[in-house]
Amino acid sequence: MSRNKFLKLLFSALLIITMAFTTTTSAYAATGTKKVTSSGTMSLALKKGQSGNSSEVTFRVSGLPANAVITKLEVNPGSLKSYTGAVLTNYLTVASSNSNSTENVTWNGKENTTLRASGFLASNANGTYKISFNATCISGAISHGVILDIGSKTYSSPYITIYWDDSF
């Protein structure tokens, strides 16, 4: 066998091995995003001067690869559906079935705001997530010219977006 023929054969074999390795490793590594919406609402009613937590909205995330982990978690609390009185929103609470902890994310109550929760990075992406908000009633609603001692606030149509990667 001539030297040129041998080099061509060797180069071809190396090229085939390199291509096989490249396609094999890229076929198993995947990333993506998943947006999960809810028709639920987060609501609360408080007496003047009282602080408290709203009702929870639950999101079930499934269908991702079994080893998918969170690289970024964004929460949108949805639209301000109704309010009475002056209710000051303090923060949004995010909880996951994959973690024994919760995260309180600073939030001023602005509707349709994208909030980022960093406490769940590198945890399993499939699971159940719950959100609620904490607020303080500054002043009650006005009804027929009388200031009542109760205020309320409701947000509807929240959603979460999970950015995931399964190559870890």
pLDDT of residue 22: 59
Mean pLDDT estimate for the chain: 90
> Within the chain, which residues score under 70 in pLDDT?
1, 7, 10-11, 14-15, 20-29
pLDDT of residue 167: 86
Out of 2.40.10, 3.30.70, 2.60.120, 2.60.40, select the CATH number for domain 32-165: 2.60.120
Check residue 123 and give its pLDDT. Answer: 93
Question: The pTM is what?
Answer: 0.80
Domain boundary assignment for the chain? 32-165
- Cross-strand partners of 153: 44, 83
Angle formed at CA 110 by CA 143 and CA 32, multiple of 5 degrees: 140
Instruction: Let me know: does 50 contact 134? Beta carbons within 8 Å.
Output: no
